[in-house]
C-alpha cells in the first residue's frame, strides 16, 4: 500500500502555491467573509487510521455535503419509499434549476440538487417540530463522527434564510405539487440549519467512514446502514454529487463524492477510505477548486479510482 | 473467489421463466422482427477465462453499445481535444432529445446520447470516405475481440436509414452549429452501420475486456488505450451509459455499462472482468429488461459493484 | 348600426340551453362554491349607452381581469420604465409557468401572466403599505366605473392565500433575481386582494370603457390615460390577454380582451364599445366557455373585429 | 382623410438620414450581398389608390412574408383542417426554435415560424411534384398582384439550400413525428423557393390588398378568400407575424403584419389599406429596422392602429 501520509504531504506541498485560487461563494453573505487562504485534507482508512494535511482541523460550513447525512436519515425512516418523492437520475441542469421541477411535476431529479434535498428534509421532519428535526440531524452527525463538539453555525443559517429566495421558490413550487407536507418556512428553516453544519475535514471524513466500510463505522463499531444501502448512497454521490459537474468529477477523480459551496468535498474509496478536502475558492461549476485538484491527485497516486487502477 | 459458472447458471435458471419479458424496440422495422425469447450472458475475466450461459453465442444488433468502440477510436485520433465537440455530463433527458442540443448551442452533453455519438462519428470520419470509416470500425472491433467473423448487418443499417428522421434532425442541427464537418447523409450512413454491428455476448465481452484490464486485452496482448483512458471511458459509461436510466443502473447494478436498443448490455467490473448480457425485450427506460435484472443479480452475487461489496 | 340589444338578446337566447357548460376552477376553494348556472353580458358604447343580458348585474370574482387595472395604475406611476421589469411578448406557455421565468432571468414575459402581474403589483406598491396599495386599487376601480359599491371579497383573497403556492414560487423566484422589491408575503397579499375584486359585467364594462374611448371615460368625463397608452394596453390584451389561448381568441373573436378564472372576460372594440361577459364554467385553456362563445357571436354579428368586418 | 402621399413623403424625408441602419442578415450568403442603403414604402388603399416613396419599385427577397401567401393557398386547399398540422398560438421563442417543437410533439406553434411554414408547404404540395408546387405559388402571387413580372430568385433559393441546416433539422424532426408527408429535400426545395420570391414594395402591397378588403382585391375584382378568412389571417399576422417581436410590433405599430429577413415588412390596415415597407438592415429581433420605424410613424400619423385612433 502507498504511504498515505507521504501522498497527502506531497499534494499539500505542490498545491501550497495555489492556495487562494478560485472564487468564494458570495450569495450567502456570512460565507463570503471567510479567509480564502485555507486548505486542508483528511483521509480515514477503514482500519481506522487518520491522515491529515494543512487546515484539516479547521471547521467550515459543510453546506450541501450535509445532504448525504440527511439522505441517510431519510432512508432510515422511510426506506425505498423515499423514491416516490425524489428521483435518482442526474439532473443535467444547474443545481438550483426550477425548470426540470416543472417538467417533472414537482418531483426533483435526485436528492443532491437543492429541490431534492428540500424534499428529503421534509421527509425527515415527519412528526417533528423544526427544532427537533434540527436536533436529530445534529445528534446523528455527532454520533457518526463520534464527536460531540460538532455544531451548527446559526449566523450562517440566518444568513441563508434572509437571502434564500430561490430555495423558497423551489419549496413553494413542490408544495404546489403536494410534494412538500410541512409549511415552507419550517422546511427551509431546517434545511438552512443542516447546510450550516460546521465541521472540519477530519470530522467529515470520520462521519462518512461508514460509506467506505460496508455501512458500519469501524472506529466506533456503530452499524449505520446495510452494505447495500451504503453502496447505493455511493452510487448516488457518483452520478449526482456535484450538480452539473458530476460527469466531470467522475471522469477526473473517479470516486463517489459530494461537494458544498463552503468549499468542502467529501469522497469515498469503497472498501478503503473516506476522504475530505477543503479550500473556500470555487471553480466555475461551483466545486472547491483546490479540493477537486487535490482529490484528482490523491486518486491518481493511490489508484483508488473505482474505475480501475 | 465465487464460482462464476455457478453464478451464471443460477441466474439463467432463475430468469428462464421470465424470458420474453419487456417490449421489443419497434421503431427500427428490421429489429422488430427478432424472436423475443432469447437470453444470454457472457463473462470474461482479466485472467482470460470465459463463462457463458444461455444464448451467449447468438449474434444480435449491438446498436448503441457500438458508441463505446467509436468513442475509443475517436479518442485515439484526437485525444482529449474530443471534448471541444462533445460534453461529459449526464443528459437528464431522453436519449434523442434535441432540446438540450439547442440550449447548449449544438454541443451534445456526452458521447453516449445519439447526438454525441453522431458527433464522435464525424470526428472518426476525418480524412475518410464513409465506406472507409465503416471499414476501420469493423477492423477495430474484430481486432479487439480477436474474431474475424464479426459483421455488420446491412439490412438493419438500411432499415435505420429509412426511418431515422430524428437522427437526421440531430445531425442537421449540429451542422447548423458547425459541430458536424461532413455531409449529414455521410455521417449518418456511417452511424447507422456502426449501430448495425452484429455480435454475440461472448464476442462483446471479449472486445470490451481491455476496459476491465487497464487498457490492454490480456487474451491477445494488444494494448488498446492507457490505463487512465480506460478508467475515463468507464467513468463515462457509469454516468451516461443508459440515457435517462443511468442513475438507476448505477443504483441497482453499480457497474459501468452501456446498453443498446437491440437488448444488449455491456458492463465492466474494473480489474476483474468484462460482461455482456442480452435479451431483446426492453424495460420502460429502453434498456434490456432481463439484461438489467441479470446484471443486478450478478453484481449482488459477486460483490463486484464499484461502490463497495 | 346594428340593434345591440337585439344582438345581446339573440345571443343570450341561443346560449341559454348551454348555461352550465365548462368546468369551474377548483384550485381556489372559495371559487369552487359558485353556482355554475349563471351567464351575463354587458356592452357599454362610447356614446354612453348600456346594453345587458342575463346575469349582468351579478358580481363575480374578476380574478385576472384585475391585471388590466393594475397595469394601468403601474403605467401611470412609472410610465414606460415599467418595461424594464416585465416584457411585452406572448408567453407561449401555461399561465403560471416558471420555466420561462428561469430562462429569462426573472423577467416575466408580459404583465398578464401571473409572474408579470405580480411584478406589476410590486411596482404599484412602491411607497405604500400593502393595505394602502389595496385601497388605492379599489379607489381606482370605483373611480373608473363611477360606482362606490364595488368591493373586494376577503374570503376569496384568503382562499387564494392559503393555496397559492405556485404564486409564492413565482414571486420568490423573481425576488431571487431582484425583480421583486417588497417581501413576498406583502406582494402576494396585495395580488390576491386585487384578484378578489368582485364586479358585475356592467360594472366591468363601465370601468374599462376608457380603453375603447381614447383613454377617457365619456360617461364620467374622466381622462384616465392618453390615447396612445389606451391603444398600447389594448395591444397587450390582444397578444397576451388569454394566456396560451391568446392566438385562438384573436383568431375567433378578434377583439383585445382579458379573461379571468372566475369566468369573466372583458373585451374592447376600439372606438366603439367595451364589453363584459361572464359564466363560471371554463374551457380547456382556462377561459370562460360560454363567455368566449358569446364574444365570438357578438363580434361576428356586429362586425367589430379589429381585423376587418 | 389624411393626405397619404404627404405622410409617406414626410416619413421618407425624416428617415433618409438613417438609411443604412441595422444589420443585414448574413446567414444566407446571397442575401448578404445586397446594398444596405435602400428604403422604400408603398400603400395601396381599398379604393385602389397607390402611394409610394423611395425605393418602392425595387424588387427584394420577400423571404418569410411569403408565408402569408402560402398559408392562404393551404387554407384554400384543406380549410380549417390545416390546424391539425400547425397551431395558432404565438411561439414565445426564437423564430427557428426546435425546443418547442419537441415539447409539442412535432406540431409547430403557428404557420409563421419556420417549422410551421414548412408544414404548411408540405400541405400545399399534396398531389404535386416540387416543381409544380413552386409554379402554383408563383402563379398565385402573380394573380394576387396582377403582375406577371414577379419572379423567384434561383440564386437566393440555392444559397439557402446550401446553408439551411436548421430548417433541415426542423423538417426531419417533424417527419419523425409524421407531420411532414413528403421527402424532406422536396419540401425544403419548395420552401426555399417560396422564400426567394422577389417583389417590390408596390407589388407586395398590391398582392396583399385582399387582406385589407374583406378577402377580395378591389383593383382586379378577384375574390381570394371569404371576409372571415381574411380577418383570421390578419389575426394570425398580428399575434404571430414577427417571431418573438410580435408583441412589440403590436404595441408600437398596432397593425397585423409579417416581416422577412430580406428587410421587408407587409402590413394591413383592415378596411383601409395594405402597406409594404423595405430596408435591408435588421434590428435586434430580426425585423427591418427602418421598416418597423416607418410603419410606427405611418400608424401614428394616420390613426390606422387597430387598437384605436
**Per mean pLDDT, which range of B105-119, B153-167, C250-264, D71-85 is the poorest?**
B153-167
pLDDT band, residue D100 (cuts 50/70/90): confident
Residue-wise pLDDT for B249-273, tens only, equals: 999 999 999 999 999 999 999 999 9
d(CA A71, CA A91): 17
Over range C188-198, report the average pLDDT. 97
| B140/chain D closest Cα distance in angstroms | 32
Q: Which three cell numbers stand for residue C87?
A: 416584457
A259 sits in the region (left: phi over 0; alpha: psi -120 to 50; else beta) called beta
CB B150 within 8 A of CB B141: yes
The number of CA neighbours under 13 Å toward the Cβ of A17 is 2
pLDDT tens track for D86-95: 999 998 765 4
C95 chain-D contacts, CB cut-off 8 A: none
**By CA distance, what is D104's nearest residue in B?**
B99
Nearest chain A residue to B296, by CA: A228
Q: Which residues of C are known catalytic residues?
A: 64, 67, 191, 243, 261
CA A165 to chain CA mean position, Å: 21
Round to whole Å and give the CA distance between A253 and A204. 19
Write out the three cell numbers for A271: 472498501
Minimal CA–CA distance to C81: which of C22, C126, C138, C15? C126
What three-state secondary structure class fits D88? coil
pLDDT at C87: 95
- CA-nearest of D26, D54, D15, D42 to D276 is D42
Cα–Cα distances (Å) from D138 to A19, A137, D60, D150, in that order, read 70, 74, 15, 8
Q: How many Å apart are CA C137 and CA C140, to the nearest integer?
A: 5
The whole-number average pLDDT for the span D49-60 is 98
Q: Is B98 helix (H, G, I), strand (E, B) or coil?
A: coil
Asked if residue C274 belongs to a known ligand binding site, the reply is no
Place of cell 346575469: C55
To the question of whether residue C12 is assigned a binding role by annotation, the answer is no
Instruction: Please give the pLDDT value at position C3.
Output: 95
How far apart CA A5 and CA A7 sit, in angstroms, is 5
Determine the residue of chain C that is closest to D234 in CA distance: C307
Mutate to test the interface with C, among A97, A163, A165 (most CBs of C within 10 A): A165
**Residues A166, C176: C-beta atoms closer than 8 Å:** yes
**How far is D151 from D115, CA to CA, in rounded Å?**
24
User: Which string of b and e fits D234-264 if b means at least 16 CB within 10 Å?
Assistant: bbbbbbbbbbbbbbbbbbbbbbbbbbbbbbb
Name the band, by pLDDT with cuts 50, 70 and 90, for residue D221: very high
What are the E-state strand segments in D240-279? 257-259, 264-269, 273-278
Residues C297, C302, C307, CA angle at the centre, nearest 5°? Answer: 90
First to last CA, chain A: 13
**A169–C173: do the CB atoms touch at under 8 Å?**
yes
Query: Cα–Cα–Cα angle for C88, C92, C94, nearest 5°?
Result: 110
Three cell numbers at D28? 444566407
3-state SS track over A141-184? HHHHHCCCCCEECHHHHHHHHHHCHHHHHHHHHHHHCCCCCCCH
pLDDT at B99: 73
Q: Please spell the DSSP secondary structure of A210-272, one letter per residue.
A: HHHTTTB-TTT--B-S-HHHHHHHHHHHHHHTTGGGHHHHHHHT-S-EEE-TTSEEEEEETTT
What mean pLDDT is predicted for residues C210-232? 96
Over range C152-159, report the average pLDDT: 94
C-alpha grid cell, residue C72: 394601468
pTM of the predicted structure, to 2 decimals: 0.91
B198 membership: H or E segment, kind and range: strand B197-199
Mean pLDDT lowest for which of B101-110, C240-249, C277-286, D51-60? Answer: B101-110
Helix (H, G, I), strand (E, B) or coil at D133: helix
Q: What is the pLDDT along chain A (309 residues), one digit of tens a residue?
A: 689 999 999 999 999 999 999 999 888 888 899 999 999 999 999 999 999 999 999 999 999 999 999 999 999 999 999 999 999 999 876 555 777 787 788 999 999 999 999 999 999 999 999 999 999 999 999 999 999 999 999 999 999 887 789 899 999 999 999 999 999 999 999 999 999 999 999 999 999 999 999 999 999 999 999 999 999 999 999 999 998 889 999 999 999 999 999 999 999 999 999 999 999 999 988 899 999 999 999 999 999 999 999
Write down the pLDDT at residue B94. 59
For residue B138, count other CB atoms closer than 10 A to its CB. Answer: 18
> How far, in Å, CA of C206 to CA of A283, rounded?
60
Cell numbers placing D44? 395601396
Residues constituting chain D: 309
Structural domains of chain D, ranges and CATH numbers in brackets: 4-62+200-302 (3.40.710.10), 64-195 (3.40.710.10)
pLDDT in tens, D249-294: 999 999 999 999 999 999 999 999 999 999 999 998 889 999 999 9
Q: Is there a binding annotation on residue C167?
A: yes
Report how far residue D116's alpha carbon sits from residue D109's, in angstroms, rounded to the nearest whole number. 7
Determine how β-strand D40-45 pairs with β-strand D50-54.
antiparallel
Q: Counting Cβ atoms within 10 Å, is residue B17 exposed (0-12), middle (13-18) or buried (19+)?
A: exposed
**Cα B153 vs. chain centroid, distance in angstroms?**
16
Instruction: Yes or no: say if D141 and D150 are a contact pair by the CB < 8 Å rule.
Output: yes
Which residues, 6+ apart, have CB-to-CB distance to B20 below 8 Å?
Answer: B36, B37, B281
Average pLDDT over residues B134-162: 95
Task: Tell me which residue of B124, B101, B226 sits closest to B176, measured CA to CA.
Answer: B101
Catalytic position from the list B243, B268, B279, B288 = B243
Q: How far is Cα of residue B173 from the mean position of the Cα atoms in its chain?
A: 24
Measure C68 CA to nearest chain D CA, in Å: 15
D64 is catalytic: yes
- DSSP lists the bridge partners of residue B41 as B53, B277
Q: Are B214 and A309 in contact (CB under 8 A)?
A: yes
Strand D40-45 vs strand D273-278: parallel, antiparallel, or unpaired?
Answer: antiparallel
- How far apart CA D265 and CA D221 sit, in angstroms, is 25
**Cβ-defined contact of A306 to B309 (cutoff 8 Å):** no
Contact A294, A15 (CB under 8 A): yes
**Alpha carbon separation from D170 to A107, B111, B182, D185 (Å, rounded):** 31, 23, 19, 12
Look at residue C93 in the predicted model and tell me its pLDDT.
66
- Mean pLDDT of the region D137-143: 98
Q: Is D58 exposed, middle or buried (0-12, 13-18, 19+ CB in 10 A)?
A: middle
C-alpha cell at C163: 393555496
C-alpha distances in Å from residue A214, one per residue of A211, A239, B271, C148? 6, 19, 20, 74
> Which among D99, D165, D172 is the nearest to B102, CB-wise?
D99
The SS3 assignment for D129 reads coil
- Residue C110 annotated as binding site: no
Average pLDDT for C1-21: 95
ipTM of the complex, rounded to two decimals: 0.95
Residues contacting B173, CB < 8 A, separation 6+: B98, B101, B102, B106, B115, D98, D165, D166, D169
CB-CB under 8 Å, B88 with A270: no
Chain C CB contacts of A188 below 8 Å: none
- The catalytic residue among D12, D51, D61, D64 is D64
Q: Mark yes or no for CB contact A90/B246 under 8 Å.
A: yes
DSSP single-letter state for residue D90: -
DSSP string, B115-136: HHHHHHHHHHTTTS-HHHHHHH
User: Under an 8 Å CB criterion, which residues of C touch D?
Assistant: 87-93, 100, 109-110, 211-212, 214, 227, 230-232, 234-236, 238-240, 244-248, 250-251, 254, 256, 270-271, 305-309
Alpha carbon distance C91, B187 (integer Å): 37
Amino acid at each position: 500500500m502507498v504511504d498515505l501520509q507521504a501522498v497527502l504531504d506531497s499534494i499539500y506541498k505542490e498545491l501550497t502555491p495555489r492556495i487562494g485560487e478560485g472564487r468564494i461563494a458570495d450569495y450567502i453573505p456570512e460565507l463570503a467573509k471567510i479567509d480564502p487562504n485555507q486548505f486542508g485534507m483528511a483521509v480515514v482508512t477503514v482500519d481506522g487510521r487518520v491522515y491529515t494535511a494543512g487546515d484539516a482541523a479547521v471547521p467550515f460550513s459543510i453546506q450541501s455535503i450535509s445532504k448525504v447525512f440527511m439522505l441517510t436519515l431519510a432512508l432510515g425512516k422511510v426506506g425505498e419509499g423515499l423514491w416516490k418523492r425524489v428521483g435518482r437520475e442526474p439532473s443535467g441542469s444547474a443545481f438550483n434549476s426550477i425548470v426540470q421541477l416543472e417538467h417533472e411535476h414537482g418531483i426533483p431529479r435526485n436528492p443532491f440538487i437543492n429541490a431534492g434535498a428540500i424534499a428529503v428534509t421534509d421527509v425527515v421532519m415527519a412528526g417533528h417540530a423544526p427544532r427537533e428535526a434540527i436536533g436529530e440531524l445534529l445528534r446523528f452527525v455527532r454520533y457518526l463522527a463520534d464527536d460531540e463538539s460538532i455544531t451548527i453555525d446559526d449566523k450562517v443559517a440566518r444568513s441563508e434564510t434572509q437571502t434564500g429566495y430561490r430555495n423558497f421558490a423551489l419549496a413553494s413550487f413542490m408544495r404546489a405539487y403536494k410534494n412538500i407536507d410541512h409549511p415552507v418556512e419550517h422546511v427551509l428553516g431546517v434545511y438552512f440549519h443542516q447546510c450550516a453544519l460546521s465541521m472540519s475535514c477530519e470530522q467529515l471524513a470520520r462521519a462518512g467512514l461508514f460509506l467506505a466500510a460496508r455501512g458500519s463505522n469501524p472506529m466506533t463499531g456503530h452499524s449505520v446502514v446495510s452494505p447495500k444501502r451504503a453502496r447505493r448512497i455511493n452510487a448516488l454521490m457518483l452520478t449526482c454529487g456535484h450538480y452539473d459537474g458530476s460527469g466531470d468529477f467522475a471522469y477526473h477523480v473517479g470516486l463517489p463524492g459530494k461537494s458544498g459551496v463552503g468549499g468542502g468535498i467529501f469522497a469515498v474509496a469503497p472498501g478503503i477510505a473516506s476522504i475530505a478536502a477543503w479550500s473556500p475558492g470555487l471553480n466555475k461549476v461551483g466545486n472547491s477548486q483546490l479540493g477537486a485538484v487535490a482529490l484528482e491527485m490523491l486518486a491518481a497516486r493511490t489508484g483508488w479510482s473505482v474505475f480501475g487502477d
